[in-house]
Chain A
Amino acid sequence: MVAKKLTGGQIVCEALLNEGVDVMFGLPGGAILPLYGELSKYPGLRHVLVRHEQGGAHAADGYARSTGKVGVVLATSGPGATNLITGLATAMMDSAPVVAITGQVGRAAIGTDAFQETDITGATLPVTKHNYLVTRAQDIGPTIHEAFHIARTGRPGPVLIDIPKDVFQEEAEYDFERDSQINLPGYHVPSTADESQIQKAVELIDAAERPVILAGHGVIISQAFDELRELAEKAEIPVVTTLLGISGFPEDHRLFVGFPGMHGLAYASLTLDESDLIIAVGSRFDDRIVGDPNRFATGAKKIQIDIDPAEINKSITADAPVIGDVKAVLGQINPKIKSTKHTDWVSRVEHLKAEHPSLKIRETDELLGQHVIKALSDVTRGDAIICTGVGQHQMWAAQHYRFTNANSWFSSGGLGTMGYEVPSAIGAQLGNPERLVWSICGDGGFQMTSMELATAVENNLPVKYAILNNNHLGMITQWQDLFYDGDFQAETYTANPDFVKLAEAYGMKGIRVTKQDQLEGAIREANEHNGPVIVDFVIEKVDNVYPMIPIGGSVEDLIEESL
C-alpha cells in the first residue's frame, strides 16, 4: 500500500483518530492554527473550546481519570503552552494519562526569542512523563503513537508534543502500520511479577495475624477492583484506601475501613498502626499518610506492590517489594494465599471505629460542610461521580461521601491544585454522559477556574457545582489557627461574588442553601435540572477539619474533635 501524502496537521488528526481519540480540549493561537485549519476535515474529532488552557489540561485529566482513556489538550506556543503547566504537573503527580499538543514558532525562528516563543519542552521537563519537539512532519505520526503508548502504559502520566508551525504545514507520508511500531529500548512496562517476589508476599500474608490492605490509586489505574476484593475476602483483610484510592473498594463492604493520614479517619490510621502487615497495593506511602517515617506502623511488615520500581523504598522500607501491575500481581497472589479468617482482628477494627467515631458530625443548627456532603451522599446514594478542589471541602468530601461505584472520585492529591474542581468535572461529564457528576468546590478554588462554567454551558454538560462557601481559604484559616497562633492573614474573602447571580449570568441554574433543612430539596432540584447548576451552600465560616495528624506526626499526635 502506498502511504498517503498529508500535511503535518492532517497527520496529527489521523494519528489521533487511530489512537481512538474522540474529544479534545483546547484553545487556538497562531502557532497551532495550521492544525485547527484541518479540523473541519475530521468531524470525528470533537474539539471543546475552553476559556483557559489550564482548564483544558484539567478537563483532559478529568476525562482521562474517569474513562481510563488518554485525555488530549491543545494549546498554542508561548503563553498558551505555559498556561498548561499547572495542569500537566497535576496530572504528573497523580499519574493521569494526558497528551498535550502545543504549537511552536516556525523552525527557523526557534531559539531567537521570536514572538510567543517559549522553550516548552525545557519548561515541562519535570512535569511530564516524557516530551518531544518534533522537527519534521514525517516524525509526527511515530511521535504521536509513541506518546500515547507512554502516557497510558506502566505508571501513566502526561506527555507533551511540541510541533513548530511550519511542521504542521510540511507534507509527509503517514502509514499507521509503520508509524505505530513502538521501538523504545529503555522503556519497560512491568506486568506480572517475579515468582520469588510473589512467594515472599504470599508467605507474609499467610503468616500475618493483623493484616491490612492499603489500597491506592494504582488499584483504580489498573482497574483491579475484583482482584482487590478477592484478596480482601479470601483472607479476611480490612481495606484502608488512600485519598486517591477512594472508590477503589466498595464503601458499603464490611471490610472497608476508610482513608488514613493527615485528615483521614482516626480509626483508619490506627488500623495501620496496630497492624502486623501492611499490603500496599498501588499506593506510594505518601507523606500525608506516613507522617514521621520512623514512627509509622512500626510493628508492621510491609509488602509494596507497585509498577514503578522508583517508588520502592522511597520513604518506607519494604520487606517484600513486588514490581508489577496490580491486576496481574493480584492475579498471581490470590490463588496462592490461604483462605482464612481474622475474626479477632476484624472485630478489633470494628472496635476502633466505635471508639473513634470520626464521621460523627457535631450537634449544631448551623450548616456545616459535613452536612452538605452527607446529604449529597444520601440523596445520590453514593452513586455520583465526585470531583473536588483542594482544602477543607475536599477532606470533608473524602470523609463523608460513601462511594458505591468504582472509580468515581477525582481529586488533585499529589499537587493539591486548587481550581481542579471546575474543569475536571467537565472532562468527567464528557467522558461519562450517562452519569451524574457533582463537583465539590471551595469558594477559593472555584474562583481560580470558574471561567470554564461557560464551557459547560456551551457544551450542554449538566455538571452540578456545589460550592462549600465559607468565604474563606478555609484550610489556610485552619493552619493559621493551629500552627500560627491564630494570626489570620490573607485567608478571608470579603467580596466574593453572589454565586447564584453568577450562575444566572452564565445561563445556569443557581440555588442558595443556608440551612440544614434545605439540603435535600436543593440537591434533588439540582439533580432534576436538565443542565448545569451551581448550588451555593453557605456554610459555617470557621470550622476545622478533624481528625488531624499534624505534619511529620504519627497516631500519637492525633487530634480528634471533642463532640
Chain B
Amino acid sequence: MTTSSNGASGFKQRTIIALVEDKPGVLARISGLFRRRGFNIASLAVGRSEMPGLSRMTFVVEGPPHVVQHVAAQLDRLVEVVEVQDITEKNIVWRELALIKVNSPSEHRGEILELANIFRVNVIDIGAKTLTMEVTGGRNKINSLIELLRRFGIREVIRTGRVATLRGALIEGQEEGAHAVADSVEHFYTPTAGDSGSV
C-alpha cells in the first residue's frame, strides 16, 4: 500500500469523493466533520452530478491516514451523503485547473506564448500588459508552469480544487503527484484513542 504516513515528517494527501444531496447546509455539515478532527481540506470541488438533485464533491485532505479513513466512515453517516469513497489507493484519474495571469510586455510575449504552446495550455485573455492562460492537468504540471512563468512576474494564480474519478480500465497505476505529501504538518494534532481526561 502506498498510503501510510510518510515517516514521522508528514502525512500524505488523501482524495475522497462523495455523492451528496444538493441541499443547503450540506457543505457545512461535511466541513464541520473535518474541522472537528483538526485537519485541513487542501482542496474542494463541488458541482452538480449527472443525477438530478445530487452533487459530487472531491476533497483532498491532509491528515493521518487512520483518522482520514475514519472520517470517511463518519461522512457516510450524514443523512445527505449518499455515497462516500476514499479513492486514494484506487486507480484514479484527476485534474485541477488554474488561471495564471502573468506580466507580458511585448519583448517577452513570444517566449511566454511558446511556453503556453509547450504546455498545451490555452491563452484566454491578452491585455496590453498582461496575459492570462488556462492550464488543466495534474498538480506537478501546474506547479512547473507556475515556476517557469515566475521570472516574468506572476500577477495572479487562481486554482480550483481537484476533481477525480476512478479509471474505467483495469490497469494499475496512478496519476503523477496524486499523493503528494502535505505541505505543512505542524498544525496537526494526532488524535489518539484513549481517555479524554475529563471528569
**In the complex, what residues of A have CB within 8 A of residue B158's CB?**
none
Q: Mark A276-296, 1 if CB is under 8 A from B, else 0.
A: 000000000001101111000
Q: Which of A186, A309, A315 contacts B83 (CB 8 A)?
A: A186
Q: Mark B47-70, 1 if CB is under 8 A from A, else 0.
A: 000000010000000000000001
Known: A287-B195, A314-B70. A125 touches B29 (CB 8 A): yes
**CA–CA, A184 to B79, complex, Å?**
7
Interface presence of B4 (CB below 8 A): no
B78-A310 in contact (CB<8A): no
**CA–CA, A315 to B81, complex, Å?**
24
Known: A186-B83, A314-B70. A308 touches B196 (CB 8 A): no
Pick out which of these stretches binds chain A: B20-28, B110-118, B122-130: B20-28
Known: A187-B79, A310-B70. A552 touches B199 (CB 8 A): no
**In the complex, what residues of A have CB within 8 A of residue B25's CB?**
121, 133
**In the complex, what residues of A have CB within 8 A of residue B79's CB?**
129-130, 150, 184, 186-187
**CA–CA, A288 to B195, complex, Å?**
6
B77-A310 in contact (CB<8A): yes
**CA–CA, A476 to B199, complex, Å?**
7
B195-A310 in contact (CB<8A): no
A287-B193 in contact (CB<8A): yes
**In the complex, what residues of A have CB within 8 A of residue B81's CB?**
186
Interface presence of B194 (CB below 8 A): yes
Q: Which of B70, B78, B82 contacts A185 (CB 8 A)?
A: B82
Interface presence of B74 (CB below 8 A): yes
Query: Can you name 19 A-B pairs with beta carbons within 8 Å?
Result: A121-B25, A122-B28, A125-B28, A126-B36, A187-B79, A287-B195, A287-B196, A288-B195, A290-B194, A308-B77, A309-B73, A309-B77, A312-B73, A314-B70, A315-B194, A416-B198, A475-B199, A476-B199, A552-B194
**CA–CA, A441 to B54, complex, Å?**
49
**In the complex, what residues of B have CB within 8 A of residue A290's CB?**
193-194
> Least Cβ distance of A321 to chain B in Å?
11
Known: A122-B28, A125-B32. A291 touches B198 (CB 8 A): no
**In the complex, what residues of B have CB within 8 A of residue A479's CB?**
199
A185-B21 in contact (CB<8A): yes
Show the binding face of B for A, using Cβ within 8 Å: 20-21, 24-25, 28-29, 32, 36, 54, 70, 73-74, 76-83, 193-199
Q: Which of B28, B76, B193, B197 contacts A551 (CB 8 A)?
A: B197
Known: A185-B21, A186-B21. A315 touches B193 (CB 8 A): yes
Q: In chain A, residues 286-333, which have Cβ atoms closer than 8 Å to a Cβ of chain B?
A: 287-288, 290-293, 308-310, 312-316
**CA–CA, A479 to B36, complex, Å?**
28
Please indicate which of the listed interface residues B28, B195, B197 has the most CB atoms of chain A within 10 Å of its own CB: B195
**In the complex, what residues of B have CB within 8 A of residue A308's CB?**
77
A291-B194 in contact (CB<8A): yes
**CA–CA, A312 to B66, complex, Å?**
12
| A-B contacts besides A125-B29, A186-B79, 18 pairs, CB < 8 Å | A122-B28, A126-B32, A150-B79, A185-B54, A186-B21, A186-B78, A186-B81, A262-B195, A287-B194, A288-B195, A290-B193, A290-B194, A310-B70, A310-B76, A313-B70, A314-B70, A476-B199, A552-B195
**In the complex, what residues of A have CB within 8 A of residue B196's CB?**
287
**CA–CA, A187 to B194, complex, Å?**
30
> Least Cβ distance of B18 to chain A in Å?
10
**In the complex, what residues of A have CB within 8 A of residue B54's CB?**
185
A293-B194 in contact (CB<8A): yes
**In the complex, what residues of B have CB within 8 A of residue A315's CB?**
193-194
**In the complex, what residues of B have CB within 8 A of residue A314's CB?**
70, 193
**CA–CA, A61 to B128, complex, Å?**
68
**CA–CA, A251 to B80, complex, Å?**
41
Count chain A residues whose beta carbon lies closer than 8 angstroms to a beta carbon of B: 33
Please indicate which of the listed interface residues B28, B83, B194, B196 has the most CB atoms of chain A within 10 Å of its own CB: B194
**In the complex, what residues of A have CB within 8 A of residue B195's CB?**
262, 287-288, 291, 551-552
- Chain A residue, CB-CB nearest to B23: A132
> Least Cβ distance of A189 to chain B in Å?
11
**CA–CA, A312 to B81, complex, Å?**
19
Known: A308-B77, A310-B73, A314-B193. A186 touches B32 (CB 8 A): no
**CA–CA, A552 to B82, complex, Å?**
37
> Least Cβ distance of A473 to chain B in Å?
9
**In the complex, what residues of B have CB within 8 A of residue A287's CB?**
193-196
> Least Cβ distance of A188 to chain B in Å?
9
**In the complex, what residues of A have CB within 8 A of residue B77's CB?**
308-310
**In the complex, what residues of B have CB within 8 A of residue A312's CB?**
73
A293-B193 in contact (CB<8A): yes
Q: In chain A, residues 169-190, which have Cβ atoms closer than 8 Å to a Cβ of chain B?
A: 184-187
**CA–CA, A429 to B73, complex, Å?**
37
Q: In chain A, residues 119-144, which have Cβ atoms closer than 8 Å to a Cβ of chain B?
A: 121-122, 125-126, 129-130, 133
**CA–CA, A479 to B73, complex, Å?**
35
> Least Cβ distance of A186 to chain B in Å?
4
B193-A186 in contact (CB<8A): no
> Least Cβ distance of B30 to chain A in Å?
10
The 9 closest A-B pairs by CB, nearest first: A186-B82, A315-B193, A551-B195, A310-B73, A293-B193, A287-B195, A130-B79, A185-B82, A310-B74
> Least Cβ distance of A262 to chain B in Å?
8
**CA–CA, A293 to B66, complex, Å?**
15
> Least Cβ distance of B73 to chain A in Å?
4
> Least Cβ distance of B24 to chain A in Å?
8
Known: A125-B28, A125-B32, A308-B77. A292 touches B194 (CB 8 A): yes
A309-B76 in contact (CB<8A): yes
**CA–CA, A472 to B11, complex, Å?**
47
Please indicate which of the listed interface residues A125, A292, A316 has the most CB atoms of chain B within 10 Å of its own CB: A125
- Chain A residue, CB-CB nearest to B193: A315
**CA–CA, A315 to B25, complex, Å?**
30
**CA–CA, A221 to B83, complex, Å?**
26
- Chain B residue, CB-CB nearest to A290: B193
Known: A122-B28, A126-B36. A186 touches B20 (CB 8 A): yes
> Least Cβ distance of A286 to chain B in Å?
9
**CA–CA, A292 to B54, complex, Å?**
42
**CA–CA, A219 to B109, complex, Å?**
73
> Least Cβ distance of B192 to chain A in Å?
8
